[in-house]
Amino acid sequence: MIKVSKGAVSIERDGKKLAADVGAPVQVADRVRTGADGAVGVTLRDNTLLSAGPNSLIVIDKFAYDSVTQDGKMSVGVRKGTLAVASGRIAKRTPESVDFHTPTSILGVRGTEFVIEVEGEGDE
């Protein structure tokens, strides 16, 4: 769910552009886009915290989490811009089920916090 939203932020879902206001849900396959003055903070159900800075395009490729067993998986792509991550329960329990990716690399996570930046013309 979106917890912080500043400036131009939108969610692209099924070809539609939706407002990314605080409280809006974020779903699998959503593309979260920020403009030059935009920034957005998202908390996922496993307590993963994500934030994207200006001119970013982030894609939630996979997310599943069973809050009873705490099993799950996630895969998040940074097409351009910046993404900060504070990893959550899935990364703690089964780090091999979590990845972040850029146009040219895949990141594996061992329960931690980091920033990914993709500069250049990459978009779609």
Partner 1 sequence: MNKALLFGMASLFLGACASERVVLLPSADGAPGAVVIRDKAGEIRLDQPYAAVKRTLDSNRVYQSSPQEVSERYGPTLAVLPQRPNAYILYFETGGNVLTAESTVALKALRTEIAERPASEVLVIGHTDRVGSVDGNDKLSLKRAELIRGVLIESGVDAGKLETIGRGERDPLVPTADEVDEPRNRRVEINVR
Paired with 80 in beta bridges are 57
Instruction: Print burial letters for 46-68: b (CB count within 10 Å at least 16), e (below 16).
Output: bebebbbbebbbbbbeebebeee
Interface residue with partner 1, options 17, 35, 94, 103 (CB under 8 A): 103
The one-character DSSP state at 67 is T
C-alpha distances (whole Å) from 72 to each of 9, 34, 38, 79, 112 are 27, 27, 30, 23, 17
Site string (46-85) toward partner 1, x via CB under 8 A:
-x-xxxxxx------------xxxx-----------xxx-
- Please tell me whether residue 39 binds partner 1 under the rule CB under 8 A: yes
Q: How many residues bind partner 1 (CB under 8 A)?
A: 50
Kindly tell me which of 15 and 70 has the beta carbon lying closer to partner 1.
70
With binding defined as CB under 8 A, does residue 104 bind partner 1?
yes
Three-state DSSP class for 123? coil
Q: Which of 56, 116, 48 is nearest to 81 (CA)?
A: 56
In angstroms, give the least distance from the CB of 7 to partner 1. 10
42 binds partner 1 (CB under 8 A): yes
90 scored as a contact of partner 1 (CB under 8 A): no
- The contact set with partner 1 (CB under 8 A) reads 1-6, 22-23, 39-43, 47, 49-54, 67-70, 82-84, 86-87, 102-122
